[in-house]
Structure 1
Amino acid sequence: MTTHDPALGPAAASALAELRANVADAFERARAMPKSVYTSPDFAAAEQRHIFARDWLCAGRADALKEPGDYLTMQIAGEPVIILRDRDGALRGMSNVCRHRMSTLLEGRGHVRAITCPYHAWTYNLDGTLRGAPAMTLNEGFCKDAIRLPQIRVVNWLGWVLVTLDPDAPDPATRLKPVEDLVGYLDMSTYTETFREDFRWATNWKVLAENFMESYHLPACHAGTIGGSCDLALMTCPEGDPAFNYHWIVKNDTVPLALAHPANTTLTGDQRRITWLLAIYPSLLITLTPGYFWYLCLTPDGPGHVNVTFGGGMSADWMADPEATANLAAVKALLDRVNIEDKGCTERVYRGLCANLSSPGPLSHLERPNFEFARYIADMMPEA
């Protein structure tokens, strides 16, 4: 999947060469990724061009956009994007930049009947066609019917809103079919999102992604929350897929809401207590349990910061429970505490990456997903 990029500067080319040398070795001799792939501004810029502008990214959950006119906004490799539910009930993606003097149009999340530019009040329908433009009758070249917001590919994959700037990117339903084969028995599309929020951490996006991908850190980093809910000896980290990596944890009863609902008679055996950790490349990270789910969507902000969308909710069984409100509050309180712990761990890693005396060490067998992720990064980046 590599391409040639004449704009790849010396620093990015050097970092890429280090990374490729790193992943060329067998996993049994693997080391953590070179420091330069986290700290180089040139490498971060190349990631925007060759990863975030080309692959499928997650905008959140489809059930968060319930009614026509419900929308959210995001940035993809510096491109402002609107995702909304159109008048026919379909998900639609389009440029968030007015076709007049190029002001951005919408901010955050919300509901609109039409998209009106805050600068000169040019107004667009929910399909992106221009509805009206004040005081344009004297411009002989103006043709309202010829103006439309550029459209962007959006799909609903198992309840996730996936979007890409690349018109030729392979369809995620085909590319991610192995994910369905693994966790289809839980049917992610039936889980309900109950919260979503955004924050910014002082670390590289890959540090946070890798933190999610391995559970080796749970006993130490999460000693105050979920660290005691799993046994590292029972953890399996299989070889990854080109589009994602995964592992699972067999949970004990420490966190009851992570288990199948007592009234659920469909799930049997370990299905009732397995927690899946799915890393959909490049930046959708999903924790899926029989009881609840939570996710992170990562957007790089230079080498040293990452913008994070954090959301989650519960399975249909637990949502129907008479104590659903209290259960939801308990899940959210637990996850907030877990996030505080992860923030501390990942920001400390980035500070260490920037230290002169630091160097990457060997990986545990429990960090195979990190090695698979490094291979994905190397494969997506261009030939120097």
Structure 2
Amino acid sequence: MANDLRSDALAELAANVAEPFERAHAMPPSVYTSQAFMEQEIDGIFAKDWYCVGRADALADPGDYVTATLAGQPVVVLRDRDGGLRGLSNVCLHRMSTMLEGRGHARTLTCPYHGWTYNLDGSLRGAPAMNLNEGFCKESYRLPAVRCEEWLGWVMITLNPDAPPVAEQLHDVEALVAGYDMTNYSESFYEEHLWDTNWKVLAENFMESYHLPVCHAGTIGGLSKLEEMVCPPGLPAFNYHTILKDDTLRIAMAHPGNDRLEGEMRRTTFLLAIYPSLLITLTPGYFWYLSLHPVEPGKVHIRFGGGMSDDYKGDADAQQNFIDLKTLLDKVNVEDRGCTEKVYAGLRSGLARSGHLSHLERPNYDFAQYLYAKLKQ
């Protein structure tokens, strides 16, 4: 039965993406609501592509760590004693309990079940009361490694040993926003949330600014000019669109000391959707991001963080400007949660039908093409 449901949803997606953009519809409800289709996404996308766990500057000191569950695999990413970033299985090799939780600092990885302890390189440091087992050899135990790479300050992991390096896949992104110097943005906040919607609904919500005047009428909607939004065709590993900001928020503009950006680029915001689920709002002065992972068809785990360009780190009022911005972002998130949870409620209706896409939803069309290309394999 599960395979039939998966095939039905994939067949509906195939018909959907076969339409040219000029005649395109939103994706069919089944690709959001089917449990079997979500399991195919886990196996065909999240177990194979790169997933973002946050920013490297948040893991500055040896022992700083962040945990994740990627396609069912508990993972810890940490700064090791040599100053490098390291991905490890977060499962004890004794009776297989998970160990660290959330984000924090630890001198060792200690299992909360029987107290087996691992060094930051994954080697076993100690195991109580194992001296009577003749087959036990401490040196033979080492936590399995998980591929981990840093790219422009982002910490990326994958379970796929054959995935191309992040920098190779995303070289077009790097060229597109080179003047922003994304490596030198420092994270000021980080949170994790669980919303009652499908991960793709939230991803698509980020990918288009068509909804801003209505969904965000109470916050940023009045500042959003549909005629200034530019939505070019996407590329295989990402899509993007741009909007122009005015100087009502100073840290959205390029800093006077920034000589890398010229003309309208000094007030251009890029909304980057890096497949499958890293969503970055990048302005010349600040950034915020979402990194998504499905939990159930109607539940998504969200990593939400942001901060400022180091161009502003010497400005006395910049931090207060960002605090004010974070207050606004929290209000925007409340609006987005309401809208995206309503979309998922509608998708579950037996009368739900997908409508035609606006020209401002070009990124959504490209996202659907990416999903089908991955899942048809």
Q: Same fold (TM over 0.5)?
A: yes
Q: Contact between 1:239 and 1:245, CA under 8 Å: does it hold in 2?
A: yes
Q: Contact between 1:229 and 1:253, CA under 8 Å: does it hold in 2?
A: no
Structure 1 vs Structure 2 CA RMSD: 1.2
SS at match of 1:238: coil
CA distance in 1, matches of 2:167, 2:161: 15
Partner of 1:131: 125
Q: Give, in angstroms, the shift of residue 268 of structure 1.
A: 2.0
Aligned length: 377
Partner of 2:20: 26
Q: Contact between 1:298 and 1:306, CA under 8 Å: does it hold in 2?
A: yes
**In the alignment, is residue 49 of structure 1 matched against residue 43 of structure 2?**
yes
Partner of 1:9: 3
CA distance in 1, matches of 2:58, 2:310: 16
Partner of 1:113: 107
CA distance in 1, matches of 2:257, 2:170: 31
CA distance in 1, matches of 2:117, 2:353: 54
Q: Contact between 1:8 and 1:46, CA under 8 Å: does it hold in 2?
A: no
Matches within 5 A, 1:51-200: 51-200=45-194
Could you give the per-residue CA deviations for residues 278-315 of structure 1, whole angstroms, max 9, x where no partner exists?
A: 00000000000011100001011110011111000011
Q: Give, in angstroms, the shift of residue 132 of structure 1.
A: 1.2
- More divergent stretch after superposition (60-69 vs 225-234): 225-234
Partner of 1:273: 267
Could you give the per-residue CA deviations for residues 64-106 of structure 1, whole angstroms, max 9, x where no partner exists?
A: 0000000010000111000000000000001000000001111
CA distance in 1, matches of 2:182, 2:308: 10
Matched to 1:253, the amino acid is D
Partner of 2:250: 256
SS at match of 1:9: helix
Partner of 1:3: none
SS at match of 2:95: coil
CA distance in 2, matches of 1:264, 1:227: 29
**In the alignment, is residue 366 of structure 1 matched against residue 360 of structure 2?**
yes
Q: Contact between 2:180 and 2:260, CA under 8 Å: does it hold in 1?
A: no
Q: Give, in angstroms, the shift of residue 139 of structure 1.
A: 0.9
CA distance in 1, matches of 2:188, 2:273: 21
Q: Give, in angstroms, the shift of residue 233 of structure 1.
A: 1.1
Matches within 5 A, 1:211-360: 211-360=205-354
Q: Give, in angstroms, the shift of residue 257 of structure 1.
A: 2.5
CA distance in 1, matches of 2:68, 2:139: 27
Q: Contact between 2:41 and 2:375, CA under 8 Å: does it hold in 1?
A: yes
Could you give the per-residue CA deviations for residues 147-169 of structure 1, whole angstroms, max 9, x where no partner exists?
A: 11010000000000000000101
CA distance in 2, matches of 1:95, 1:303: 26
CA distance in 1, matches of 2:11, 2:313: 49
- Deviation >4 Å, runs of 4+: none
Structure 1 segments unaligned to the other structure (5+ residues): 1-6
TM value normalised by structure 1: 0.96
Identical counterparts, % of pairs? 63
Matched to 2:10, the amino acid is L
Q: Contact between 1:152 and 1:163, CA under 8 Å: does it hold in 2?
A: yes
